[in-house]
Structure 1
Amino acid sequence: MLHSRLSGLAHPEMPQVRAKIAEVFQDRCQTAFQSFGETASAAMQAWSEAAAPPQNALDLWRDVSSYWIDFNQRSVLFWDTLRQRGNNWLEHEKEGKPPLLHFDWEVVADAREFERPANYALVRIVPPPGTRIDPNKRPFVIIDPRAGHGPGIGGFKQDSEVGVAMEAGHPVYFVIFFPEPMPGQTLADVSRAETKFLQIVRARHPETHKPVVVGNCQGGWAAMLAGALDPDLPGPIVINGAPMSYWAGNDGENPMRYAGGILGGSWPALLASDLGGGLFDGAYLVDNFEYLNPANTFFGKYYTLFSKIDTEPERFLEFERWWGGFFLMARDEIKWIVENLFVGNKLASGQAEWSEGRTYDLRDIKSPIILFASLGDNITPPQQAFNWVADLYPTTEALKANGQVIVGLMHENVGHLGIFVSGRIAKREHAQIVDLIDYIETLPPGLYGMQIEDVRADGHLQYDIILRERRVEDLQALQKYHRKDEVPFEAVTQASQMNSSLYEQLVHPLIAPMVSPAAAQLARRMHPLRVQRWALSDLNPFLAPLAPWAEFAKAGRAPRQETGPSAAWEHWLATMTSASWDLFRDLRDASVEAVFFSTYAPLSIAEAEAAPALLPAKESLRASKSVQEALSHIDEGGRMEAIVRMALLLRKIGPEQRRLSTIKQVRELVGHDVGLLAIPEDEARKVIRTQSHIVDYEPERALTGLTKLLRRADDRKSALAIFDNVATRIEMTPGQRALLEEFRQRLGGEDRTRARAAVPPRPQERENRRRSRSDARARARQ
């Protein structure tokens, strides 16, 4: 391995590689300056249009004086809002940083009391007055991210994941966690605790379907770990903005993925844990998020507050209360996360161990999975949310052979936090996900794209879901370089292992004994993110006059100065300040990216030239255990299996997209007649999975074998009646109608034969029917 990396340094293509890195760097710098120039020009144009010169000195005096009064009042109210933020932070710390849920809750199970304790608890969300919960509906279990902040983001407001699930009548449970980990706590202990929570929820709702598990951001991979640890526990799994494939992304768009390489791997997290007395401070993770957008961190959010001081403080204080709640992790936890996920990217490859010699295998998960990501998310870009699918299942056939159903939903522009906290997203995307849950388990294995369509009905805005079957190979469209730019991250992993080994042997034994718990706590108090809160609070005696001044400013509040030369000057200055920070960010990210690839690309050039792994052929997948087991039962089953097979054959030659409204209509018509709704969901999914394999790999035998499944005349008659009923209500393609006619020919019996013999078809009609049946059979074989 070392020889191959060193040989890469002298590789004949190295000059071209370095030249390409330099070229990309120059292009990005040029683009950054060009963007800054365009913003500056637009700002100057807006200023010149808005700042019309005053007619006389009196107009100038009025503009300046009124603006100055407004400016000073806003300044007092602005600093008083920051004082309130500090007081809220102190109060939250004093209360022990409880979950910031909008809803009342009660503790169901406390994992701190488990045999292997963890600082987690399961709570039941108490429905607000007027909210009616249907005891027959499956429960929801929402897992919030433990990524520096405290729990509550999934139920931050009424219009949230918690709110839309309860509005649909589902019981809702929430997984919270406490500020400090239990002594010796590991990530495996957390996974065990969460699987125990799912067991408890199932025991509390024995008459309903398995619980839906919703994971937000890092709570998403936590949900997947729990599902892999005990696949029989969860129902559908929904992961929102969850990073699963950490190396993925595109240059110029996702700078956070380079952090591990620039810092040399996992050793900084170990150092931070040792300086924290064995605890990792979540404020460091929040720093990473703020690092991405310095314009907003250092100016944007404060100027928004300042410019909208009459309406913005409530929203600002509510969000900052959550944003400033920094939680801790155990050293072993953050070490596992960084080495296996952030740097190692081992989860999708099945190399992430939860105990010695035992790894999480995501292919063990049999529950349907819904992925929600956004193109506007620069913390968890869509590549990180989706690429693990292609890592586990290199082809669509491999995904289907494993019997997995994965539905992907992509938003165009919402940011990372907007996925969880936006009320608009909750009422549209999350509400439709909840609506889909009851029907997703009837989908045959495959990858589906989910699209939400706005529908106007009786003057009201409603939504419909469109599902289109996709191919795993289509995920390459998210990548600029077909994932070749991920190869250098292999070198980062090797460097990280070496650096962390040296740190553990040489540095850790010296630093760890020197840091007392009191010193570690003091160091956490002095973190800049905490200082900016407690320093601007009532603890600061110099801020004592702020409260009465703010009351005085509110009492005499002048109208907001929106026009005139002075206001135009303020808008120009704000625009240029943000643009300057954006220029700094773009130049910084371009430099970091260039340094990363200049450092690690030469070390990984040998791997980049390695032959790509051969994709499994369909014939080899046919030999897989699940497919062979399904094909061995091709002539076994009864009426329910036959109806499912007929539906899958019709679907195979039907339109590419399916509407949820149509699926609902079909269930209304014939759902209870099929029999799937009367059996447990695991058995129903197994029936669908088995028949799907049969239809995919042996379509002709699937068609001819229907007579063996429907041996009784009344079963054949009722099966045909079901599809005749659907055909009269649901629009079918000509191919589907021809195949339905083929079903009638094979299953119609003697009565239908005599009826047809009484009125013989014309020669042309016979020929048309023959061609239609032939075309339908041919398409079914494809």
Structure 2
Amino acid sequence: MPRRRRAAGRSRRRLAALRYDHWPRRVAPREGRPTKRLDRRHAALHNKPRTRKPSPMTVVTPLPARELMLRGAETMSRVMDQARALADVTRRQAEALRPDFVAPRLPPAPSDPFTLARDAAEYAVDAAQRAVLFWDTMRQAGNTFTEHELAGCPPVLFFEHEMVVDGRTLSRPSNYALVRIKVPEGCPPTDAKLRPFVIIDPRAGHGAGIGGFKSDSQVGVALRRGHPVYFVIFFRDPEPGQTILDITQAEGIFLRKVAEAHPEAPKPVVIGNCQGGWAVMMLGASQPELTGALVLNGAPLSYWAGERGRNPMRYLGGLAGGSWPAALLADLGNGKFDGANLVLNFESLSPGNTWFKKYYNLFANADTEAPRFLEFERWWGGYFLMNRDEIRWIVENLFIGDRFARGEISAGGGATFNMRAVRSPVVVFASAGDNITPPGQALRWIADVYRDEQEIKALGQTIVYLMHDEIGHLGIFVSGAVALKEHSEIAELLTLIDSVAPGLYEMLITREPGSNAWQVELKERTIADIRIRSGEAKNEAFPAVARISALNQSLYDLFVAPVVRQAATEESAELRRQMHPLRLRRTLVSDRNPAMAPVAALAEQVRQHRAPARRDNPFLAWERLWADGIERSIDTWRDWRDAWTEIAFHGVYGMLAAVGVAGGETPEEPPSAAALADAPEVRQALGRIATGGYAEAVVRMMILLAQARGGVRRSRLARSNAVMQNEPPFSEMTASARQALIREQTVIASMAPAEALAALPKLLPKLADRRRAMATVEDVAGPEEELGDAALAMLNQLRSALGLAAGLVPVGYEQAAVPD
């Protein structure tokens, strides 16, 4: 019996050892130090304290059943979430790919064979002549391309300009430069007191100049209003070793130079087009003292955002395996990345147009389309280069990592670029028809950076966004209609932006009834509105892409990059660039190709003997029908490609995220409403709720009235701005003092509206001051019948608070006005 008891004891000890010393655990305890959680569970199971320390050889301990179950449930929840996401994507794509069977409108058949023969002969001559004119235009485009390349790809600005600062001569050289636009004939001279406009174009494969591509452009809009206009250009080849931070420093020097040239003017407006948008925001975040209002046109800042079933471009980096393909292309280019690769990527988003319809339109309208086609090709056909470090910085920090909105991009010296540090007003222009920078990527950063609209107000920030319903990405910059409407109204708003109370607004542009003038209104919006517009709020597949990308990049750097860099030479890199499809398709139709030699003479003969077909020729209708069918076929292929791209992305990275590849990081919780009220700037403002006088009262009342109405029209904003600029005591303040006053009163009116209203009598103890202040506010508000019920109710509350309603006069207050 004793032997059996001893054997049973040894069995129990072995079982305990197996149960507690040989199961895998996440973190092995330090030698000689027991695990506290394990000791507690051991004591609970055996009703005695655990005294045996783990053996030095012990590296694993058990996971308790409860924790295993919790982890399993968490993993299963992620799996189900990703499965639902994949099912939703598949459903959306299936609905989008559902064929739309619409019977084509066939042209009428000729009435007799003789008419058919006549129409056929007429069409044959016309088509042959148009073909000659088409190839002649393509030859001219090819010649323009080769000449542009030989000239070093200068900027394609429509306006004459002069060099101000050449970034290649700075202490940290870069291939950027600042030029000043010369005022053309027909434009008024620049006003030294008007704020300058500084436009930064995207360096995303193409050259600089899209913001001043034609007379009706961003440059033209600013010049016609008398503003000094500067343009940040860049050269084709980067400076050796230049980085993105070098460019940011150079752009800061450019802004200092502009400020020195215009000492009487307010801080310059800085406009960022497309990829120039994040450059502008980096300037505003790192050097806020240099920038005035920031305008972001079609600028992506949140690269993971988008709508399921649309916006396929954000998935390409993941399916390519991350950032390593860009590094490989740069290494094959002997340390330089060819921007033609980015342009080819853009073209593939709309292949029906860029690969066929654009050329068909040139063929169909060969007599009139050539000038417009050649003008656009001059910019579209200029391809620029980047250093290896530059393209890797962009891909890893923005396209793949999406780190800007989270404040994770290094600014050097241990600092980071934090969008919350931006203090200048921000105007965002996006379009629902933009498939390169969809609205989510242009707007989502607002919801990522700020907890809610109250926080935006508390921080004294003003953000205005404008949405177009259908214009494409390039149309934002090159469309004359967009320049004359949206860009013109943005420029007009910028003259009043300092009078806009902090907050989040949508800019609405409508036609005034019975007039050709535009009516502009700023409507208050919420962070919830931004989330609705920006698509899915959370997708763990994208953090999984970032993890896989970092792994693949490390493997590439370790095993592949050394070999490729040793094999690449400048000659082989240049040969690869010249053989790129986008360059080759232009050089092959230029005069460099002997086969194109007779085209110019043939085209001249055609122009002298041009015989266009009649508009009602049925063969022209058949031709258009054929062209539409080709375009639809190509776009159908694109739709299938995009559908499978999205489904594959969610199928691969969604499942990786579900099993924990994305990491278990818990995102930082945004500050609560209570924490926001405890912020120093908010406490300071609320502590001054009953402090001040006439100026504080007028601004507070105007803000309360605007909040009640839910926005402000530009006409009221103009009247408010006139008061701020021309009437005492506001006219005696500096611009910064007026802005600080508006920010403080906005915090008070938004965080404690009832107390702000009740404290008005303390700010205006004299009856004459009250009457004068109320008259000013009523004049800014305009006719009462235009206010709306909520604003009218607030106006009556203001009158009641000041004792001015229904002729009420409070007793005991001195009736003396503030001195003028």
User: TM-score scaled by structure 1?
Assistant: 0.90
Shift of 1:192: 0.8
Greater fraction helix: 1
1:515 corresponding residue in structure 2: 568
- Aligned equivalents of 1:89 and 1:127: distance in 2? 28
SS of aligned partner of 1:738: helix
Q: How does 1:44-59 map to 2 (within 5 A)?
A: 46-47=105-106, 50-52=107-109, 54-59=110-115
Distance 1:567 1:357, change over 3 A: same
Q: Is 2:629 the partner of 1:576?
A: yes
Contact map agreement 1:29 1:587 (CA 8 A) in 2:
no
Q: Is the alpha carbon distance of 1:20 and 1:670 closer, same or farther for their aligned partners in structure 2, counting shifts above 3 Å?
A: closer
What secondary structure does 1:649 align onto?
A: helix
How far the C-alpha of 1:229 sits from its partner, in A, is 1.1
Equivalent residue in structure 1 for 2:508, among 432, 448, 451: 451
Cα distance between partner residues in 1 of 2:259 and 2:474:
30
Check conservation: 1:265, 1:497, Cα contact below 8 A. yes
Is 1:225 the counterpart of 2:225? The answer is no
Deviations along 1:380-439, one digit per CA (max 9) or x if unpaired, are 000000000000012122222221110010000000000000000000000000000121
Matched AA of 2:802? R
Q: What is residue 518 of structure 2 aligned with on the other side?
A: 463
Q: Give the CA deviation at 1:722.
A: 2.5
Cα offset for 1:24?
Answer: 4.4
**Shift of the alpha carbon at 1:501?**
1.0
- Please tell me the root mean square deviation across aligned C-alpha atoms, in Å: 2.9
Among candidates 570, 586, 589, match of residue 533 of structure 1:
586
Q: Closer, same or farther in 2 for the Cα pair 1:640/1:31, shift >3 Å?
A: closer
SS, match of residue 394 in structure 1: coil
Q: Distance in 2 between matches of 1:87 and 1:196?
A: 37
Instruction: Say which of 115, 122, 147 aligns to 1:66.
Output: 122
Secondary structure at 2:357's aligned position in 1?
helix
Which residue identity lines up with residue 495 of structure 2 in the other structure? D
Identify if the C-alpha distance between structure 1 residues 652 and 299 changes in structure 2 by more than 3 Å, giving closer, same or farther.
closer
Deviations 1:227-276 (A, max 9, x none): 11101111110000000000111122111000110000000110011011
> Which residue does 1:773 correspond to in 2?
none
Residue aligning to 1:253: 310
Secondary structure in structure 2 of the residue aligned to 1:348: coil
User: What displacement does 1:528 show?
Assistant: 0.8
The reply to whether residue 97 of structure 1 matches residue 158 of structure 2 is: no
Secondary structure of the structure 2 residue equivalent to 1:441: helix
Residue deviations 1:616-670 (CA, integer Å, cap 9, x gap):
33222101122112123334334322321232233333x2232102222344467
Aligned to 2:182: 126
Aligned to 1:765: none
Q: 1:412 to 1:110 in 2, by over 3 A?
A: same
Give the whole-Å Cα distance in 1 for the aligned partners of 2:426 and 2:665: 33
Matches within 5 A, 1:579-590: 579-590=632-643
- Higher mean alpha-carbon deviation, 678-687 vs 410-419, is at 678-687
> What is residue 189 of structure 1 aligned with on the other side?
246
CA 375–2 in structure 1, closer or farther in 2 if over 3 Å, else same: farther
Instruction: Verify: 1:28 aligned to 2:93, yes or no.
Output: yes
Q: 1:29 Cα shift? A: 4.7
The residue that corresponds to 1:662 in the other structure is 716
Q: Which deviates more, 580-589 or 18-27?
A: 18-27
Indicate which of 734, 743, 760 corresponds to 1:689: 743
Q: How many angstroms apart in 2 are the aligned matches of 1:726 and 1:675?
A: 16
Counterpart residue number, 1:77: 133
Q: Call closer, same or farther: CA 1:614–1:751 in 2, change over 3 Å.
A: closer
Partner of 1:319: 376
1:691 Cα shift? 1.2
Q: Map 1:350-365 onto structure 2 (within 5 A).
A: 350-355=407-412, 357-365=414-422
Aligned residue for 1:735? 793
CA shift, 1:473, in A, is: 1.5
- Judged with a 3 Å threshold, the aligned counterparts in structure 2 of structure 1 residues 15 and 350 are, in CA distance, closer, same or farther, namely closer
1:766 is aligned to none
Q: Which has the larger displacement, 604-613 or 522-531?
A: 604-613
Distance 1:108 1:456, change over 3 A: farther
- What amino acid is the match of 1:153? I
SS in 2 for 1:59: helix
Cross-structure match for 2:469: 412
> Which of these residues, 17, 30, 42, is aligned with residue 103 of structure 2?
42
Q: Deviations over 1:140-181 (max 9, x none)?
A: 001100000000000000000000111111111111011011
| AA aligned opposite 2:547 | Q
Q: 1:205 aligns to what?
A: 262
Gaps of 5+ in 2: 1-24, 28-67, 816-820
With over 3 angstroms needed to count, the CA separation of the structure-2 counterparts of 1:728 and 1:147, relative to structure 1, is closer
Identity rate, percent: 45
- Of 291, 297, 303 in structure 1, the residue corresponding to residue 360 of structure 2 is 303
Equivalent residue in structure 1 for 2:691, among 630, 636, 661: 636
Q: How many residues align?
A: 742
Q: 1:722 aligns with which of 766, 776, 796?
A: 776
CA distance in 2, matches of 1:724, 1:162: 38
2:428 equivalent in structure 1:
371
Compute the displacement of 1:750 (Å). 11
Per the normalisation by structure 2, the TM-score is: 0.86
Residue deviations 1:363-396 (CA, integer Å, cap 9, x gap): 0011110000000000000000000000001212
Q: Which residue of structure 1 lines up, in the alignment, with residue 63 of structure 2?
A: none
SS of alignment partner, residue 633 of structure 1:
coil
- Does 2:594 match 1:550? no
Distance 1:713 1:251 in 2: 60
Counterpart CA distance in 2 for 1:360 and 1:755 is 52
Aligned partner of 1:180 in structure 2 is 237
Counterpart of 1:544 in structure 2: which amino acid? A
Higher Rg: 2
Q: Mean alpha-carbon deviation: is it higher for 417-426 or for 575-584?
A: 575-584
Distance 2:292 2:82 in 1: 48
Report the Cα offset of residue 727 of structure 1.
6.2
Cα distance, 1:116 vs. partner?
Answer: 0.8
Change in Cα spacing, 1:590 to 1:631, as seen in structure 2 (3 Å) is same
